[in-house]
């Protein structure tokens, strides 16, 4: 199994903006990523942090690293990113409420 983890640190009161972007919408059926071969699951976690910050963690599980790479290179995934960049004048969007974003990819060993 292969796991991708993304963590956003956002200003207090803004974790919902990250969640809204990624959480499942019951009336829309499965998302594009959920339909991909090799996709297992996606979880969203929220931690209310002191000092005016909150954290949102997204964990995505794949059957293999190859399945994840196929998603990353898929026309659907690339088109989604291009649309966001185009919306924001050719620059990758970074909302003002995002303090930091980290990500990592992991192979599950047990």
pLDDT on residue 13: 93
Regarding beta strands 2-11 and 39-48, do their DSSP bridges make them parallel or antiparallel, or are they unpaired? unpaired
CB 100 within 8 A of CB 49: no
Is the whole-model pTM more than 0.85?
no
Count the residues in the chain.
110
Compute the distance between CA of residue 95 and CA of residue 75 in angstroms, rounded to an integer: 25
- Local confidence band at 21 (pLDDT 50, 70, 90 cut-offs): confident
Percent of the chain with pLDDT over 90: 61
pLDDT on residue 87: 58
Compute the distance between CA of residue 26 and CA of residue 108 in angstroms, rounded to an integer: 30
What are the sequence ranges of the domains in the chain?
2-107
CATH numeric code, 2-107: 3.30.70.100
Residues 23-46 have pLDDT tens digits of 877 787 888 899 999 999 999 999
Q: Which helix (H) or strand (E) holds 40?
A: strand 39-48
């Amino acid at each position: 199994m292969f796991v991708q983890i993304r963590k956003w640190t956002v200003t207090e009161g803004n974790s919902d903006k990250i969640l809204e972007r990624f959480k499942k919408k019951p009336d829309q059926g499965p998302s594009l990523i959920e339909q991909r071969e090799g996709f297992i699951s996606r979880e969203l976690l929220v931690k209310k942090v002191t000092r005016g910050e909150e954290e949102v963690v997204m964990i995505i599980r794949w059957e293999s690293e190859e399945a994840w790479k196929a998603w990353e290179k898929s026309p659907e995934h690339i088109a989604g990113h291009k649309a966001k960049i185009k919306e924001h004048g050719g620059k990758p969007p970074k909302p003002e409420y995002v303090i930091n974003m980290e990500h990592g990819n992991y192979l599950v060993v047990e």
